[in-house]
Structure 1
């Protein structure tokens, strides 16, 4: 059957008509007519604080999708009283914004207000939930330790944020049911959904470790770690692409004999293991070399890897004038996936 078109003269519109129209300017959730609930990113409104036993919620506005899309507006600070702590058990309370609409909840009310809902004391406490038929938006949880175990604390982690369609959502977790081309900011980078995976699209910042000085002496015969005070190790997290460029450069010299060799290289430990070798180092034989070696590695995304600079001299002569490894720079450049 035909539906009522919006915003035309001589037509009367119900609250339901208006709430339905607001769906189109709300962030989609992947479900039919779905809209994402929340406050606007960066909006200081609807912030919950605790002063002694007084709970305060600042004025603000939010989207509450239910029976269409409600716009909840709190025009002045709401205050309530925190329930006393239990003698022996902890508790988690909930503070939430509620829309009363008598058409659906038979409350006889049509208003926006804040509700404080105390949790149940328990050895393993959990936050309570609003009633199943309530139009509600969680704003904060309050952890209430038992008597003598400390002060109550507020967490606003449960308060969601939302943006207009096409907007970049700041979130610690990826949006559910994303569409191709959707973006979100994870807090460490900007990601785009390509239809099968989230890919980081903004450039990564390289990480570097510069050599401070040479050791007081070199040990000959095998790859040896530079002491941390001379050249610190570098720890990084492998990006979602799994790809990283790793570079090591510096001045390496060994003129102790015409065949004396010298190396600067790195070894990987932690989430990935790789020994120093010809595959990741630079060298010289009976001479001096100024160079950089850059290699591409494909490692496990999310792995924490530590790169430790190393040296290797086949024999050792006078430090700096004969045997030398300085001006070193170790660098990691994460690769963003397509």
Structure 2
């Protein structure tokens, strides 16, 4: 066995053993113990964690690559540094005839001082129990899980061996020295003290506040670059990030929202008519549903409202076709229809008309609904409306 350890063997520890295993990696778990884990690092700096990486070497065997780790014993036993200076091959038993099983590969310290039958640092395969819903056996004392390996029913070297592409589950976790920033791999564990830092797989720096990991602002007042597909929460209300698609977003305390929402727009390309001389929000013909939009009032409490339609009067006599809007904040009327605010047409021909108006004294953060309304001044005239639209541009 190539695995080296310090202060396990009763005799025979060499100076080389000591040099290889004294690594100073004591990432605190509590005032006395440290975390068990693997020291990060890789050749050419390409990966966070390459130590004790496991890949297949044959149908029923796998190779565990070189690496360094610390294995914490019980609170009075201390921590054991271990080093594997050259790769090691582990072999798995053939599969059961009836059920799958899950084997556990571990780094393990055997110490006679605490009840083991020998003093040794080893890489072991803890064979699982074949059953309908298999699970790995618990890790033994003074051990560090590396991988779970699912061994299917009846598998052996003669039947093609373990399907390595799907059989492995990586359990490795990393550690660093006290005060170091931990590159997280595997399970996210609680911190040991307020002010401890870790770097997550999606490149976010986090700080332990005594009860949870909190995202650390990449620059106070700065714009945080977002990660594709990220659901990382903000650190404080009012923090900004460069959202997906290049949209600037603001953390509102519970979610990332557009920093500058709008413009809000809705339209209808269907025509319809009314002969009503009072305001209605539905039309006969192809426009049986109301046209409306909702918007959120900005902090400035102001917005620009634009609406319009192509209007035509059909029938006998003279008259006017009107399009207006009613604006509600929930069940509260903000502004009702008014001929003075409407767009109008007094022509038998199609005429496109629109208007732009300022909305002010809105309630910041409140949701408003704008609904299109129509009427004619003469019941003998059909007032037709087509290509109708509503637009609200918040003034930020």
TM-score by length of 1: 0.57
Q: Give the secondary structure class of the aligned counterpart of 1:287.
A: strand
- Tell me which residue corresponds to 1:90: 100
Q: In the alignment, is residue 44 of structure 1 matched against residue 76 of structure 2?
A: no
- Tell me which residue corresponds to 1:140: 147
Structure 1 or 2, whichever has the larger Rg, is 2
Q: In the alignment, is residue 59 of structure 1 matched against residue 66 of structure 2?
A: yes
- Tell me which residue corresponds to 2:33: 34
Q: CA-to-partner distance for each residue in 1:49-89, whole Å, 9 max, x for gaps?
A: 22321121111111111222211111222112221111221
- Tell me which residue corresponds to 1:127: 136
Q: CA-to-partner distance for each residue in 1:242-298, whole Å, 9 max, x for gaps?
A: 1434232349699xxxxxxxxxxxxxxxxxxxx9634358552443589xx9x879x
- Tell me which residue corresponds to 1:277: 294
- Tell me which residue corresponds to 1:207: 243
* Residue number among 242, 256, 279 corresponding to 2:254 in the alignment: 242
Query: How many correspondences in the alignment?
Result: 247
- Tell me which residue corresponds to 2:78: 68
In the alignment, structure 2 segments of 5+ residues that lack a partner are 1-17, 41-47, 218-223, 227-241, 268-291, 307-353, 375-383
Deviation of residue 323 (structure 1)? 5.0
**Structure-2 separation of matches of 1:143 and 1:240:** 45
1:222-261 equivalent positions in 2, closer than 5 A: 241-246=253-258, 247-250=260-263
RMSD: 4.7
1:239-318 equivalent positions in 2, closer than 5 A: 241-246=253-258, 247-250=260-263, 277-279=294-296, 283-285=304-306, 286-287=354-355
- Assess if the C-alpha contact under 8 Å between 2:36 and 2:144 holds in 1: yes
* Residue number among 209, 213, 216 corresponding to 1:198 in the alignment: 213
**Structure-2 separation of matches of 1:184 and 1:33:** 21
- Assess if the C-alpha contact under 8 Å between 2:25 and 2:39 holds in 1: no
The more displaced of 118-127 and 44-53 is 44-53
In the alignment, structure 1 segments of 5+ residues that lack a partner are 1-17, 212-235, 255-274, 298-309, 329-338
Deviation of residue 28 (structure 1)? 0.8
- Tell me which residue corresponds to 2:190: 176
- Assess if the C-alpha contact under 8 Å between 2:55 and 2:64 holds in 1: yes
Q: Give the secondary structure class of the aligned counterpart of 2:83.
A: strand
**Structure-1 separation of matches of 2:69 and 2:172:** 10
Q: Give the secondary structure class of the aligned counterpart of 1:159.
A: coil
- Counterparts in 2 of 1:105 and 1:59: CA distance versus 1, 3 Å: farther
